[in-house]
Amino acid sequence: MATEPLAAPLPVVGAGRLPSWISVRPPRGQYPEVRSLLDGLALGTVCREAHCPNLSECWSAGTATLLLLGTDCTRRCGFCAVRTRSPHGRLDPTEPARVAEGVRRWGLRYVVLTQVCRDDLPDGGAGILAETVARIRRESPGTLIELLVGDLGGSPENLRTLLAEPPDVLAHNLETVRRLSPTVRDRRAGYARSLELLAQVKELGGPGQVTKSSIMLGLGEDRGELTESFRDLRGSGVDLLTLGQYLRPSAGHVAVERYVTPGEFDELRSGALAEGFSGVEAGPLVRSSYRAEELYRRAAARGR
């Protein structure tokens, strides 16, 4: 079987040898079937575009995170491998139908959808995202949907458009602590804007709308700053949290300051749960959509 080349450079460029606890599993299981389905329907995935180190594990388990609104992002964050280029307002009107067909043929119980940032669109892409959720609901009514979005230009109206077809989980990533946000994220993003969007999701979608966020570690943050971010997220009503190690995609991206040990991740998970999150996934290779269904169902079982 020909294997998908892992785009995540391991070891990380410019960061020296990776520690022993960071390793990537070889392809197995459903990997070829997932790859064939994605390629056949021309579906983009953040697994490929963002150089996710869990690609082989997730595809082998029959899951992938679908990337909507194309594969060109209008923002240039210092940590992200997705290509920066303006699509100049271009949209593929067949995308929602192709995604819904893929989910149906896949037979998924839980699907994670994400997006590139589209500042070239008046609604930030909210209309296409809502249409995609609606089509999945019609064709696969038993499938749970997690939607990971950008900040939609900070517009409450764009968020209302999105929530006209609410997903089961609405995620938006804080990415890093307050101090590091201006240097790690694109200048159009913002720590306060992200918290405001997450709070607005609860206001507009109601308290039953599950929200989720993610923070990368190893960028130079300290424990006190992380605790502050946990409390800020809980103040915005966020239910679920993921914590993972930042891995540098190339020498042109933000450098890794340190590798956080598995033991530290365990401590941070306990600390985050103590702040009131319903569910927390934490570990060196955890990403925002990593084992998303398991996290959601564990939190639901605890009576979120």
93 is a domain residue:
yes
Lowest mean pLDDT segment, chosen from 47-51, 107-111, 209-213, 266-270 = 47-51
pLDDT of the residue at 4: 31
Spatial CA neighbour of 213 closest among 196, 194, 187: 194
What does the block give as tokens for 303? Answer: 């009576």
pLDDT of the residue at 7: 34
Provide the pLDDT confidence category of residue 41 given band limits of 50, 70 and 90.
Answer: low
Distance CA 128, CA 152 (A): 12
Between the alpha carbon of residue 297 and those of residues 49, 78, 175, the distances in Å are: 27, 33, 23
Higher pLDDT: 175 or 10? It is: 175
Checking if the pLDDT of 13 tops 50, the result is: no
Provide the pLDDT confidence category of residue 40 given band limits of 50, 70 and 90.
Answer: confident
Between the alpha carbon of residue 122 and those of residues 73, 194, 221, the distances in Å are: 15, 19, 34
pLDDT of the residue at 109: 86
pLDDT of the residue at 291: 86
DSSP per position, the chain: -PPPPP-S-SSPTTS-SPPTT---PPP-TTHHHHHHHHHHTT-EEHHHHTT-TTHHHHHHTT--EEEES-S-BS---TT--SPB---TT---TTHHHHHHHHHHHHT-SEEEEEE---TTSTTTTHHHHHHHHHHHHHH-TT-EEEEE---GGG-HHHHHHHHTS--SEEE---BS-TTTHHHHS-TT--HHHHHHHHHHHHHHH-TTSEEEEEEEESSS--HHHHHHHHHHHHHTT--EEEEEE---SSTTSPPP--PPPHHHHHHHHHHHHHTT-SEEEEETT--TTTTHHHHHHHHHHTT-
Query: How many other C-beta atoms can be found within 10 angstroms of the C-beta atom of residue 106?
Result: 21
Kindly state the average pLDDT of the residues 103-131. 92
Provide the pLDDT confidence category of residue 249 given band limits of 50, 70 and 90.
Answer: confident
Please tell me the pTM assigned to this model: 0.87
Query: How many other C-beta atoms can be found within 10 angstroms of the C-beta atom of residue 299?
Result: 19
Checking if the pLDDT of 15 tops 80, the result is: no
pLDDT of the residue at 27: 61
What percentage of the chain has pLDDT greater than the value 90?
A: 63
Domain that holds residue 140: 31-301
Spatial CA neighbour of 150 closest among 175, 173, 132, 184: 173
Residue 249, preceding bond cis, omega within 30 degrees?
Answer: no
52 is a domain residue:
yes
pLDDT of the residue at 9: 38
User: Mean pLDDT in the chain?
Assistant: 86
Question: How many whole angstroms from its chain centre is CA 44?
Answer: 14
Provide the pLDDT confidence category of residue 133 given band limits of 50, 70 and 90.
Answer: very high
pLDDT of the residue at 65: 78
What percentage of the chain has pLDDT greater than the value 70?
A: 82
Dihedral of alpha carbons 164, 169, 172, 174, sign: positive
25 is a domain residue:
no
3 is a domain residue:
no
Kindly state the average pLDDT of the residues 88-97. 93
pLDDT of the residue at 118: 95
pLDDT of the residue at 78: 87
Distance CA 159, CA 121 (A): 14
Domain with residue 91: its CATH number is: 3.20.20.70
Number of domains making up the chain: 1
Contacts of 76 by beta carbon, 8 Å cutoff, 6+ apart: 84, 186
Tens of pLDDT, residue by residue over 203-246, are 999 989 999 999 999 999 999 999 999 999 999 999 999 999 99
